[in-house]
Structure 1
Amino acid sequence: MLKKSIATLKVIVKQLAIAFFFASLFIFLIFIFFAKKIDTTISLLNKMSVKEVNRTTEKINIDSGSKRLSSYPTYGEIFATIEIPAINVSANIVEGDNLDLIKKNIGHYAGSYFPGEGGTIVLAAHNSQAHFGKLPDLKIGSKIIIKTSYGTYTYKVTTGQIIKATDLEKDMDIKDDKETLLMYTCYPVSIYGFKDKRYVITASLEGEE
């Protein structure tokens, strides 16, 4: 009787194990399917937004009195270019800084100010050589030029520092009393990819045209 019960129990356990395996496999396949669908949808939305800016960016102006833009780029739109002659960087600036948007562009943190508004501007990019991989090579006084449809703004590097990724939000300290440019990327920059430190450049506004 005992042997029969043990044999029956083994069969049940085996069947449960098989059922669990196929259930897990099914859930995994469903997850992969929907993850790809979501990624595809986000990519398409981003592409649609970038196309839209090519038709609307020229309409953006800035009020010299209030220092506010007449309209703002939507998430995913390219609204400016950045040039850093000292490290041979020339790239587009896109509104938003998620990983998909900054694959080919410099990302503007949506919670920060825009060039010309008199507050803190935050830009993020990957540590590739084409983007912010050479930020540590910048010296005090190096020039950064941001060109928009409503003006050209030149900034001068004042500091460069390494911080923990967990301290980034605290150290950004977005203010509205002085135009300051903050740019950051993953550190060390010698190895491409996500790291637990950030290299941060601070630059002050030197002139505008």
Structure 2
Amino acid sequence: MRNKRGIPLMVSGVLLIFCAVALVGYNTWEDRAAGADVQKILRQVEAQIAHGGAAQTAVLDEDAETQPLAAVASGGHSYLGVLDIPALGLTFPIMSEWSYPNLKLSPCRYRGSAAGGDLIIAGHNYESHFGRLKNLELGDLITYTDVDGSLYSYEVSDVVILDGSAVAEMSAGDWDLTLFTCTVGGRQRVTVRCDLDE
């Protein structure tokens, strides 16, 4: 009798292990594909940024909220600029509007603007996107270059974990730049707060 119950349980266990391995494999493949896609888009966006020589150090503009954000097009989407995180060896084009499908392609502007001193950027937790944000340390430098060639340099001031439902807290405070992504379980948000490095 024990043998009759043992075989179905063993088969079920093997199937569950197979499904887990398949899921990990799919997630790894999706992460690598997203990393390759974002690098291709990055090259296209960087080619369109108005450098006119070296990037110009930007200054904040109190009237930025009333002005439309300049963008360039690539692959049917619009991009506002390029985010560089040297401590993690990551550089991304920043998509102008966030949505769940857009997050699979590239980090996206959640709200605010660099010129207004309140830019919030959301990114998928792929390792090739924002999955390593939790590894940033206080004092790490981050730069953002908008499509007009203005360069904003930031310093990491805080790395916190917010509850996934803490929508108001995401934009609370006087941070010049906020980056965030989901934790692996998706219930919380790794949130990096930055101040303009003046």
* TM-score range relative to shorter protein: 0.5 to 0.7
Give yes or no for contact 2:82–2:91 (8 Å, CA) kept in 1: yes
| Corresponding residue to 1:72 among 55, 69, 73 | 69
Query: What is the CA distance between 1:96 and its match in structure 2?
Result: 1.4
- Once the two structures are superposed, residues 152-199 of structure 1 have per-residue CA deviations (whole angstroms, 9 ceiling, x without a partner) of 0011001111121011x1212356xx55211111113xxxxx611111
Query: What is the CA distance between 1:121 and its match in structure 2?
Result: 1.2
Shift of the 128–96 alpha-carbon distance from structure 1 to 2, 3 Å rule, reads same
Give yes or no for contact 1:116–1:179 (8 Å, CA) kept in 2: no
Q: Which residue of 2 aligns with 1:202?
A: 193
Structure 1: which 5+ residue stretches go unaligned? 1-49, 189-193
Write the letter of the residue equivalent to 1:116: A
Q: Which residue of 2 aligns with 1:128?
A: 126
Query: What is the CA distance between 1:102 and its match in structure 2?
Result: 1.4
RMSD: 3.0
Q: What are the within-5 Å matches in structure 2 for residues 145-164 of structure 1?
A: 145-150=143-148, 151-164=150-163
- Once the two structures are superposed, residues 12-63 of structure 1 have per-residue CA deviations (whole angstroms, 9 ceiling, x without a partner) of xxxxxxxxxxxxxxxxxxxxxxxxxxxxxxxxxxxxxx9xx97x975xxx99
Query: What is the CA distance between 1:72 and its match in structure 2?
Result: 2.2
Overall identity of the aligned pairs, in %: 19
Shift of the 186–130 alpha-carbon distance from structure 1 to 2, 3 Å rule, reads same
Query: What is the CA distance between 1:73 and its match in structure 2?
Result: 4.7
Q: What are the within-5 Å matches in structure 2 for residues 11-160 of structure 1?
A: 66-68=62-64, 70-73=67-70, 76-109=77-110, 112-118=111-117, 120-150=118-148, 151-160=150-159
Write the letter of the residue equivalent to 2:112: Y
Rg comparison, structure with higher value: 1
Which whole-Å CA distance do the structure 2 matches of 1:57 and 1:86 have between them? Answer: 23
Higher RCO, 1 vs 2 (CA within 8 Å, ≥6 residues apart): 2
Give the TM-score taking structure 2 as reference length: 0.62
Give yes or no for contact 2:108–2:122 (8 Å, CA) kept in 1: yes
Give the paired residue count. 142
Give the TM-score taking structure 1 as reference length: 0.59
Which whole-Å CA distance do the structure 1 matches of 2:168 and 2:155 have between them? Answer: 23
Q: Which SS does the other structure have where 1:162 is aligned?
A: strand
Shift of the 72–65 alpha-carbon distance from structure 1 to 2, 3 Å rule, reads closer
